[in-house]
């Protein structure tokens, strides 16, 4: 069974729960669009949340044969894979005096909303940079495998060399070369992607190039957010993640000024989310000021992972220069 966050919200009786789910959808276009396979229950002993699946690596092919000759056999190739659901979120504390005197800016709502934004950004970080094992710097270890790890060395990892759009003048000069590289990358995927994920700088350049070529569109979603598109494919700013000491770009700019774009096709046979059985993807607890004690705690939490069922349903475009270097 599959479920979206919008569908999960319908089954929730608590109005606050529904509002929290909507805040996650508002904070992330990816979370709003993503389909979840809600099929995971704790394993023996209740200590693990593991999702097992088969990933298509090489599709089957067909050919023409001559009379009295056989086909050359070939088979589609799959590999076993697993993803462990991760539990992520955070708590906050509020003094009852602050809660009562916060005025127009409700302190509980403010803290909850900011916690949800942080959780959505962290989810983006895991989707791109997560890894279940050590894989060098730049990864979030001990989670599930993100797209950077899954796509590394695959047929849909494409490097566009020599495309420099780091300045306005170079963008004017090279935007056609950039869009050619982007279209070539998209053509390598089995289906047209639903989303292109990138950082702020890359999104700004893509928007400008798409406008010059007449392939840019912008609409509003159900929450009043502007959703930008290139040739019908939605553009998603993967954003930044604050880890408690510094802010990191989810999709970084490398030392040579180049960066990457991740194309994603969403679906249960492509890229999708995984969640526990039922509609318990997201949960929240508000501070209870009716109980004794001056300081009360609230929290918000999400339990999920993402998987790629078909390696040709997502890809990584690298090598586009968006920042000038010395």
Nearest to 127 by CA among 4, 266, 8: 266
* Residue 231 confidence (pLDDT) above 90: yes
Nearest to 175 by CA among 324, 320, 319: 320
pLDDT computed for residue 149 by the predictor: 94
Q: What is the mean pLDDT of the chain?
A: 91
* Residue 47 confidence (pLDDT) above 70: no
pLDDT computed for residue 279 by the predictor: 66
Share of the chain residues as helix, strand and coil, in percent rounded to the nearest 5: 30, 35, 35
* Residue 59 confidence (pLDDT) above 80: no
* Residue 292 confidence (pLDDT) above 70: yes
- Which of 4-18, 155-169, 300-314 is predicted with the least confidence, judged by mean pLDDT? 4-18
Q: What is the DSSP letter of 14?
A: -
* Residue 104 confidence (pLDDT) above 60: no
For residues 121 and 115, give the distance between their C-alpha atoms in angstroms, rounded to a whole number: 10
* Residue 45 confidence (pLDDT) above 60: no
Length of the chain (residues): 326
Specify the pTM: 0.91
* Residue 306 confidence (pLDDT) above 90: yes
Buried b (16+ CB within 10 A) or exposed e, 176-202: ebbbebbeebbeebbeebbbbbbbebb
Higher pLDDT, 217 or 11: 217
pLDDT computed for residue 66 by the predictor: 82
Beta bridge partners of 57: none
- Which of 52-61, 83-92, 121-130, 172-181 is predicted with the least confidence, judged by mean pLDDT? 52-61
pLDDT computed for residue 236 by the predictor: 97
Mean of pLDDT values over 89-101: 92
Helices first, then strands: H and E counts in the chain: 8, 19
Give the burial class of 1: count Cβ atoms within 10 A of its Cβ; 0-12 exposed, 13-18 middle, 19 or more buried: exposed
């Amino acid at each position: 069974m599959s479920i979206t966050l919008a569908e999960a919200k319908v089954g929730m009786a608590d109005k606050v729960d529904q509002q929290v789910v909507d805040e996650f959808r508002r904070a992330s276009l990816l979370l709003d669009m993503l389909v979840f396979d809600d099929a995971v229950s704790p394993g023996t002993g209740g200590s693990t949340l593991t999702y097992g699946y088969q990933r298509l690596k090489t599709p089957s092919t067909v050919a023409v044969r001559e009379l009295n000759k056989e086909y050359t056999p070939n088979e589609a190739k799959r590999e076993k894979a697993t993803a462990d659901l991760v539990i992520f979120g955070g708590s906050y504390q509020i003094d009852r005096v602050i809660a009562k005197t916060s005025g127009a800016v409700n302190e509980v709502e403010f803290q909850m909303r900011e916690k949800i934004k942080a959780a959505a950004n962290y989810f983006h970080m895991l989707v791109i940079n997560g890894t279940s094992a050590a894989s060098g710097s730049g990864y979030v270890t001990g989670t599930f495998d993100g797209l950077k790890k899954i796509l590394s060395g695959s047929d849909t990892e494409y490097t566009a060399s020599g495309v420099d759009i780091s300045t306005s003048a170079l963008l004017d000069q090279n935007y056609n070369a950039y869009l050619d590289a982007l279209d070539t990358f998209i053509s390598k995927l089995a289906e047209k992607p639903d989303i292109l994920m990138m950082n702020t700088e890359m999104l700004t350049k893509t928007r400008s190039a798409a406008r010059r070529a007449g392939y840019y569109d912008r609409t509003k979603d159900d929450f009043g957010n502007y959703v930008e598109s290139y040739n019908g494919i939605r553009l998603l700013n993967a954003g930044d993640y604050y880890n408690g000491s510094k802010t990191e770009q989810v999709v970084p700019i490398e030392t040579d000024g180049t960066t990457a774009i991740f194309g994603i096709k969403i679906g249960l046979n492509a890229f999708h989310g995984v969640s526990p059985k039922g509609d318990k993807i997201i949960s929240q607890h508000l501070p209870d000021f009716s109980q004794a004690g001056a300081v009360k705690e609230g929290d918000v939490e999400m339990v999920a992972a993402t998987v790629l069922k078909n390696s040709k349903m997502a890809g990584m475009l690298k090598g586009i220069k968006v920042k000038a270097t010395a």
